[in-house]
Amino acid sequence: MRRPVATILAGAALASVLMGMPLCLALAQQAPSATIKLPEVRRQSSMSLEAALWARRSTRTLTRDSIALADVGQLLWAAQGVNRLDGHRTAPSAGATYPLELYVVAARVRDLPAGVYHYVPRTHELETVTTGERLQALVDSATRQAWQADAAAAFVFAAVYERAAQRYRDRAERYVPMDAGFSAQNLYLQAAALHLGTTFAGSFRDTILARVIGLPAGQRPLGIMPVGHPR
């Protein structure tokens, strides 16, 4: 039986008093994350795969120009999007366990407020994790990677190792990084096709980055790919 709204509010009020938390904050924490539908994925472009392979570079000199929300969606889809009716994805995964989780730290993305977002491959949507400028905090979590502050957005790869471990046990420690490599290369090539620059960065303080992104328990950060216009 569904409980009346008044009962729910009363319960939240009581919990907030017991915890010393304002009622508005208690209710906000119970609310589901806002979702943002991404633009439809493009299946063709003016650049061939061969041309994208020729154009692929590790780019650390970026302008501070903005990028389009459609580009963010295209990059996410290339890295971990669904490309078949059965739910399989653009990047291979050992046993189709799909341990990867992708996050976007948006700084200068048109039609997307600055903040941290979680990608939902099944629906091609973004879940809002937190709003507000977080790119500098991400840069601070890295080591000697100041160039990342010029990115329009940073894509963070995280993983739930337990998904792979349920099937492969201790070999998950080998297979999950492979998944990340496949996914990152897809993002590299899509960035090249969009005339954008990026580099995979693995040098960061895990605990700090996890806190910046708001990773839930059980997810481990694997890498950062800041994206922007090449200088």
The full DSSP string for 122-158 is TTTEEEEEEES--HHHHHHHBSS-GGGGG-SEEEEEE
Q: Are 170 and 129 in a shared domain? A: yes
Q: In Å, how far are 33, 56, 191, 198 from 114, measured between CA atoms?
A: 15, 27, 20, 19
Q: How far is it, in rounded angstroms, from Cα 204 to Cα 84?
A: 34
pLDDT mean across residues, the chain: 89
Q: Provide the residue range defining the domain that includes 3.
A: 1-31
Q: Are 208 and 159 in a shared domain? A: yes
Q: What is the pLDDT of residues 112-166, one digit of tens each?
A: 999 999 999 999 999 999 999 999 999 999 988 999 999 999 999 999 999 999 9
Q: What is the pLDDT of residues 206-219, one digit of tens each?
A: 999 999 999 999 99
Count of domains observed in the chain: 2
Residue 144: per-residue pLDDT? 83
Q: Are 41 and 54 in a shared domain? A: yes
How far apart, in Å, do the first and last CA atoms of the chain sit?
59
Q: Are 64 and 170 in a shared domain? A: yes
Q: Are 144 and 39 in a shared domain? A: yes
Q: Are 158 and 190 in a shared domain? A: yes
Q: Are 21 and 94 in a shared domain? A: no
**CATH number, position 163:** 3.40.109.10
- Asked if residue 21 has pLDDT above 70, the reply is no
Residue 3: per-residue pLDDT? 45
Q: Are 45 and 146 in a shared domain? A: yes
Q: How far is it, in rounded angstroms, from Cα 131 to Cα 117?
A: 8
Q: Model confidence at 33, in pLDDT bands (50, 70, 90)?
A: low
Residue 112 pairs with which residues in a beta bridge? 109
Residue 5: per-residue pLDDT? 40
